[in-house]
Structure 1
Amino acid sequence: MTKHDIARILEGIGLLLELKGESPFKSHAYYNAARAIEGLTEDVGPLVASGKIRELKGIGEALAAKLAELIGTGNLAYYEELKKSVPAGLIEMTAIAGMGPKKIKTVWEKLGVTSIGELEYACIENRLVSLPGFGEKTQEKIRQGILQLKKRRGFHLYANVIGEAEHMVSMIRCVEGVRRVELVGDFRRRMEIVRDMAFLVETDDPHFVVAALRHVNGLSEITQVGRQLTAKSGLGLPVSLTLSKRISPHAVLAATGSDAHLAALAERSRLRQVVWNPAESEGGHLGPQVGTEEALYAALGLPFIEPEMREGLDEIESAEQGRLGRLVEASDIQGIFHNHTNASDGSGTLEEMVEAAKALGYRYIGISDHSQSAFYANGLKEDRIRAQHAAIEALRKKVQGIAVFKGIEADILPDGSMDYPNEVLARFDFVIGSVHSRFNLQEEEQTARVIKALANPYVTMLGHATGRLLLSREGYRIDMKRVIDAAKAYGKIIEINANPHRLDLDWRLCRYAKAQGVKVSINPDAHATEGLEDVPFGVNVARKGGLAPEEVVNTLGPDKILAALGSRANDGGER
């Protein structure tokens, strides 16, 4: 049992105790214990066995005994009994935006609501508005949260499941008789949200391979219709496997999609009188028999279009006009901005974040903790800014081979002003302006707010532009095309936030930013050293947006980046 499994169970106990109305001290004890276990850097098992686990703050004799039971048996009787005392539907309600334990307890006790379906019906009947702590706006927020939950069920963040998909490729490739495996569909196009996995499998002996696939670890519920197999992955994604004696380029093209891109290619083939024969035995062919996808596009008079761009938007027109160059790659990224330390709400120290970035091969890192308005994130007031800058200057002398830049993620206030005066902002090498409050402004107000911030001469770039959280929270109402136009007018950069839950700026808007000549910075928004590794997910967004290396500012080296940022600070650079 991993520390993550243990922490999840402890958090579950804390939640159940809250729902039952137990003492807050009791539930918080379990929440604190979960955080302590999650933060361990060593194996929890030996610590429990030796009794050293009690040296952790918040782990007393009773909790230590429960941990021993968990690790020893894989179960915890106390947890199982608690679960029996609370309807399972109440736990599911915690996934709804706006429904915390207190509100869930209220609708359970006052209305007898024990499931999401009952809660939705209670909203329709307007029964929540009179409950203490609710009201009309809260009821509508909960109703919208239920709709969002329904919408996202069955969907998965690409980052959460790409590891399983790649592992599946490796497992299938090891099956005797399999010559080739291709992961296609949404995964190959690197969509930010996926629903299923699709594989093409090349083999001369499909019957033997089908039998062998039934024993592949991670595949279950396998059914077969001809050469088509369906299954479930370990994470619950539907899986399809198409077996054939030869994986033709056309089969790869067709299975990659998207439908809109394929329809545009079909129309182009009709206009150019190039034969498209989907009835051909191994998946059809386009034009003459060819061995590569590149040749298929060439048959239509087009350069190769990378899989990420095949969304049926403007990629064919861009290819035809010669506007598709080399797309940015993860290896092009020289350094990273938007990184938090434990000075605000990060978990890593300044030195730990810098050393981790250096270990990943980056040549510079920009530190940008939260600003003073972000009280919830321990934002920095002016005295702490001075202290952090002194620490950065000292670290520059100590750590060689990586530049460390002084930055801040400054809150954009509701009126569009920044939460520091300009004389404070002038001390930074870069300033990320971000919205962290008042998401419910009308579109015109929100747009004007952000544009005013971009007009500030000390703001370098716009952070997580729409505030969205994938599969969790819609972005706020804002006219992003006007914002991008303003970024162009003021010479500002827009962030592609590489956190897999954000991926904001959206790739569709990246194409508009590219057309307007607005540059982006691919930033991890890291709150721990592990978060630095999210950059490739942001690169996926940039590639889907058609961005070349020169359109991403942090492909520049440390000797050129400050000039590109328009920094008004007096120092910085490699130390």
Structure 2
Amino acid sequence: MTVPDLSNYEFEIFKKFSSHEAMPLAEQWLNRLIGLPEIRYGAVTGELRRGKYSIEHIDIVLAADNLEEAQTSIKDAIYPTFVQEENATHLSLLLHSGIKLVVWLAEPKDYIGQLLRTTGSDNHLARLSQAALKKGYQLFESNENTSIFLQKVEKEEEIYRKLNLPWIPPELRESGDEVDFPERYHLNELVSPADIQSDLHVHSTWSDGKNSIAEMAEAGIQRGLSFISICDHSPFLLSKYQDASYFYEQAEEITRVNQDLAGQFTVLRGVEVDIMPDGTLDLPVELLEKMDLVVASMHVQLDQPREIATARLIRAIENPYVNIIGHPGGRIYPMLDVIDLDWERVYRAASFNQVALEINSHKSHPIFDDKKARAAADMGVYIALNSDSHNSGMMANSRFGIALARRADLKSDQVINTWSIGHLKLWLHQKRA
């Protein structure tokens, strides 16, 4: 058994919390605190605002006219939640879930400066402070106070403009290089939620999903999508089927759903097919060729040695019917299964064979992270950005995948989910031609 080196992975599973759990908590607390009469407005900040997959704690910044009264009101409202520490500008709370919540306070004139400071990262702020000093400005008076330079600005863009810098999206504020070399980044071209037209990996009750195909289509419509691909599992992972004949019945249902939708929305016929230990696929060619789209994924024997695991995945990539590799690299939930891969070889194979690698928005699959997505895209690999939804509500998790894609500095046209259905079908056809 090969034990992969986990030291470079951001999630550090034993130390941090997933944004999938932390962001809803942050939003709940933000809404609760903004409802207090002493609070004017606020925002989620810190690592969550930067789109990190895993976080140390939750940060919220609030604007109030009187900070002392606001702090008293907050403490009354949160009782009996334990306050770990407090001073004039912040409160640290330990939530029942075990996550620390830090509530930052600022007067309205200082709010944007406090939002900038609490967003971070430390590297970004250090480089930004250096840029300010070169112009004779001091960015921060102390670790928790903004300077006069940052007061009375209405948007972060004004701060960057004063420093002759373009506004840098929060997701890119990490290394500090984005301050020194902004021209290297796609600051105005980052993929955004408004760009996403499809979700190309969702499940239904035909495998292990909780909703029907029609219900998943309705969820896609509610999310403003134009089409989805139903990618139920091949029979290898399913005990309820003896063979793959259920895909023929499913195809009839997809046809009926599309007829009912009357062109207002489209459901593609897809599959998530298992990549077997030798790299072959868990479906015969006569079924694969009938699919609009094929997602191929590794679910078993993920502890193979690097050479074998890499060859296995590349064999699947080279299959003429495979369009997307699902959640490459393994999973961290419900158990830690990380595949030891030669990633550069995988990227080269995916680029050459026109196969997209998937940013999977499910909380189990952060292995193909922003660094890997950036490296793959730099080698000409297209990226798929899917929810891997097993119920209609999980489609909302796409926001975490979008944040990861933005941290990877991906442009809209590098993500196949931003393409029209005509563009996507042309790409799919070219692979099989």
2:282 to 419, 424, 432: 419
**Do the aligned partners of residues 517 and 303 (structure 1) sit closer, same or farther apart at CA in structure 2, a change above 3 Å counting?**
farther
Q: Which one has the bigger strand percentage?
A: 2
Q: Could you tell me how far apart the structure 2 residues matched to 1:301 and 1:234 are?
A: 44
Q: Could you tell me how far apart the structure 2 residues matched to 1:319 and 1:520 are?
A: 23
**Do the aligned partners of residues 180 and 167 (structure 1) sit closer, same or farther apart at CA in structure 2, a change above 3 Å counting?**
same
Check the 8 A contact 1:179/1:203 in 2, yes or no: yes
**1:190-220 deviations in whole A, cap 9, x for unaligned?**
2111231223333332222221111224771
Q: 1:231: Cα distance to partner?
A: 1.8
**Do the aligned partners of residues 267 and 388 (structure 1) sit closer, same or farther apart at CA in structure 2, a change above 3 Å counting?**
same
1:204 to 65, 70, 88: 65
Larger Rg: 1
After superposing the two structures, state which structure 1 stretch, 436-445 or 305-314, moved more: 305-314
Q: Could you tell me how far apart the structure 2 residues matched to 1:478 and 1:428 are?
A: 28
Check the 8 A contact 1:493/1:518 in 2, yes or no: yes
Q: 1:307: Cα distance to partner?
A: 0.6
Task: Tell me what 2:296 maps to.
Answer: 433
Which residue identity is paired with 2:188? Answer: G
Q: 1:313: Cα distance to partner?
A: 6.7
Task: Tell me what 1:230 maps to.
Answer: 92
1:202 is paired with a residue of what secondary structure?
A: strand
Task: Tell me what 1:399 maps to.
Answer: 261
Aligned pairs (5 A) from 1:85-484: 152=13, 155-217=16-78, 220-222=81-83, 223-245=85-107, 246-269=109-132, 272=134, 274-279=136-141, 282-284=145-147, 291-312=154-175, 315-316=178-179, 319-321=182-184, 323-376=186-239, 378=240, 381-400=243-262, 401-469=264-332, 472-484=335-347
- Alignment RMSD: 3.2
1:561 to 413, 421, 424: 424
Q: 1:379: Cα distance to partner?
A: 6.2
Q: Could you tell me how far apart the structure 2 residues matched to 1:345 and 1:521 are?
A: 22
What is the aligned residue count? 425
Q: Could you tell me how far apart the structure 1 residues matched to 2:265 and 2:301 are?
A: 37
Q: 1:480: Cα distance to partner?
A: 2.2
Q: Could you tell me how far apart the structure 1 residues matched to 2:74 and 2:147 are?
A: 26
**Do the aligned partners of residues 395 and 175 (structure 1) sit closer, same or farther apart at CA in structure 2, a change above 3 Å counting?**
closer
**Do the aligned partners of residues 352 and 244 (structure 1) sit closer, same or farther apart at CA in structure 2, a change above 3 Å counting?**
closer
**Do the aligned partners of residues 536 and 565 (structure 1) sit closer, same or farther apart at CA in structure 2, a change above 3 Å counting?**
farther
Which residue identity is paired with 1:202? Answer: A
**Do the aligned partners of residues 203 and 351 (structure 1) sit closer, same or farther apart at CA in structure 2, a change above 3 Å counting?**
closer
Q: 1:291: Cα distance to partner?
A: 4.7
**1:332-359 deviations in whole A, cap 9, x for unaligned?**
2112111122222222222332233233
Determine whether 1:533 maps to 2:396: yes
Check the 8 A contact 1:328/1:547 in 2, yes or no: yes
**1:50-89 deviations in whole A, cap 9, x for unaligned?**
xxxxxxxxxxxxxxxxxxxxxxxxxxxxxxxxxxxxxxxx
**Do the aligned partners of residues 242 and 366 (structure 1) sit closer, same or farther apart at CA in structure 2, a change above 3 Å counting?**
closer
Check the 8 A contact 2:203/2:391 in 1, yes or no: yes
**Do the aligned partners of residues 228 and 477 (structure 1) sit closer, same or farther apart at CA in structure 2, a change above 3 Å counting?**
same
Q: Could you tell me how far apart the structure 1 residues matched to 2:340 and 2:293 are?
A: 27
1:373 is paired with a residue of what secondary structure?
A: helix
Q: Under a length normalisation based on structure 1, what TM-score does the superposition of the two structures give?
A: 0.67
Q: Could you tell me how far apart the structure 2 residues matched to 1:532 and 1:242 are?
A: 31
Check the 8 A contact 1:358/1:402 in 2, yes or no: yes
The alignment-based identity, stated in percent, is: 26
Q: Could you tell me how far apart the structure 2 residues matched to 1:536 and 1:488 are?
A: 26
1:276 is paired with a residue of what secondary structure?
A: coil
Q: Which one has the bigger helix percentage?
A: 1
Structure 1 unaligned segments of length 5 or more: list them.
Answer: 1-136, 571-575
Check the 8 A contact 1:406/1:429 in 2, yes or no: yes
**1:147-181 deviations in whole A, cap 9, x for unaligned?**
x9xx6456322121322211222222232333332
Q: Could you tell me how far apart the structure 2 residues matched to 1:306 and 1:232 are?
A: 29
Check the 8 A contact 2:185/2:409 in 1, yes or no: no
Q: Could you tell me how far apart the structure 2 residues matched to 1:507 and 1:248 are?
A: 30
Higher normalized contact order (CA 8 Å, seq sep 6+, divided by chain length): 2
Which residue identity is paired with 1:256? Answer: T
Check the 8 A contact 2:191/2:402 in 1, yes or no: yes
Which residue identity is paired with 1:539? Answer: I
Check the 8 A contact 1:427/1:569 in 2, yes or no: no
Q: 1:289: Cα distance to partner?
A: 8.1
Check the 8 A contact 2:127/2:180 in 1, yes or no: no
Q: 1:505: Cα distance to partner?
A: 2.7
Q: 1:225: Cα distance to partner?
A: 2.8
1:518 to 360, 364, 381: 381
Q: Could you tell me how far apart the structure 1 residues matched to 2:309 and 2:183 are?
A: 37
Structure 2 unaligned segments of length 5 or more: list them.
Answer: none
